[in-house]
């Protein structure tokens, strides 16, 4: 199988050899943003790809032999899913690969806001010995996690370990030891009203665009915090700004409607932690990703091997 791999993964020679040993002829493209035709690669010959945002910059219709896609991202929002489904192309995401660092990041954001780490860091730089009497505890807090997939479940485990009561919101209701309970999406506003911490881990779709709009932000409990490690467009930024200036304690935001974040009032707010879409980073990612890649190739290899 002619398999295109891209610079979305930092490949080792050993990993490349392992993929070759499964009966694949490797084609390598370093930069997905450069059209493959300009890199001397014929799209029509490619039968499978391992990529991130390849089809944002390359027309999938030119990949006339394509049968298999392995994304290096957990989300499908940068893949033309309607065309992929219609064409019968098998597609896999990187489910579970980034869940651990993202969950740790969400917990870190909550702790930074509750323990006012920014205040202490600034005082440390100035060598000022000033106590802070308004620190909060995670213990006993109510946490709402919107999106109960792999990332949401890992978040739930960690908040639960700190003594929080964790309620999930998802399109599908199921039982999980990580959650106190999981409720349907239509229960979102009622759960927001009683939650101290709201964590967004859901995918971006037509249905979830601006899911956290003005009504939802206004429904959030006074003194609560919002943590977004999902996609920026899940949140209406204008509504969030209004909430942050009024009743919300703060927010930890790793994703934004427009990235990179340039001119924005968010930069000026002292009750906001901003990071550059970085929550997925962890030293265990490469090993977890390769396990997913190899497992999926082994499962599908015989069917596609030419």
Q: Which residues are known catalytic residues?
A: 231, 259, 277
How far is it, in rounded angstroms, from Cα 293 to Cα 298? Answer: 9
User: What would you measure as the largest C-alpha separation in the chain, in angstroms?
Assistant: 69
Within 60-149, residue ranges assigned H as helices are 81-87, 99-115, 117-126
Give the dihedral sign, CA 199/148/189/143: negative
DSSP 248-268: --EEEES--SSSS--S-GGGG
How far is it, in rounded angstroms, from Cα 124 to Cα 216? Answer: 37
How far is it, in rounded angstroms, from Cα 74 to Cα 103? Answer: 14
The CA-atom distances, in angstroms, between 100 and each of 25, 93, 126 are 32, 16, 34
How far is it, in rounded angstroms, from Cα 161 to Cα 101? Answer: 16
């Amino acid at each position: 199988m002619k398999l295109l791999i891209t610079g979305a993964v930092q490949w080792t020679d050993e990993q490349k050899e392992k993929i070759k040993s499964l009966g694949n002829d490797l084609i390598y493209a370093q930069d997905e943003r450069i059209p493959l035709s300009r890199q001397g690669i014929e799209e029509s010959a490619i039968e499978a790809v391992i990529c991130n945002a390849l089809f944002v910059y390359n027309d999938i219709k030119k990949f006339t032999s394509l049968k298999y896609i392995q994304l290096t991202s957990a989300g499908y929002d940068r893949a033309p899913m309607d065309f992929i489904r219609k064409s019968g192309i098998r597609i896999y995401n990187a489910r579970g690969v980034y869940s651990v660092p993202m969950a740790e990041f969400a917990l870190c954001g909550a702790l930074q806001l509750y323990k006012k780490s920014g205040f202490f860091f600034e005082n440390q730089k100035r060598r000022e010995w000033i106590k802070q009497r308004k620190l909060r505890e995670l213990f006993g807090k109510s946490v709402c996690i919107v999106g109960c997939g792999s990332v949401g479940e890992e978040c739930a485990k960690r908040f639960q370990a700190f003594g929080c009561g964790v309620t999930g919101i998802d399109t599908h209701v199921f039982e999980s030891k990580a959650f106190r309970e999981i409720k349907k999406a239509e229960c979102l506003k009622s759960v927001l009203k009683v939650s101290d911490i709201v964590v967004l881990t859901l995918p971006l779709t037509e249905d979830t665009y601006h899911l956290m709009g003005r009504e939802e932000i206004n429904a959030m409990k006074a003194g609560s915090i919002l943590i977004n490690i999902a996609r920026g467009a899940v949140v209406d930024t204008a509504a969030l700004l209004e909430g942050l200036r009024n009743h919300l304690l703060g927010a930890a935001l790793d994703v934004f409607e427009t990235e990179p974040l340039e001119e924005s009032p968010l930069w000026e707010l002292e009750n906001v932690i901003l990071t550059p879409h970085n929550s997925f980073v962890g030293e265990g990612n490469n090993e977890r990703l390769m396990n997913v890649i190899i497992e999926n190739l082994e499962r599908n290899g015989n069917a596609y091997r030419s």
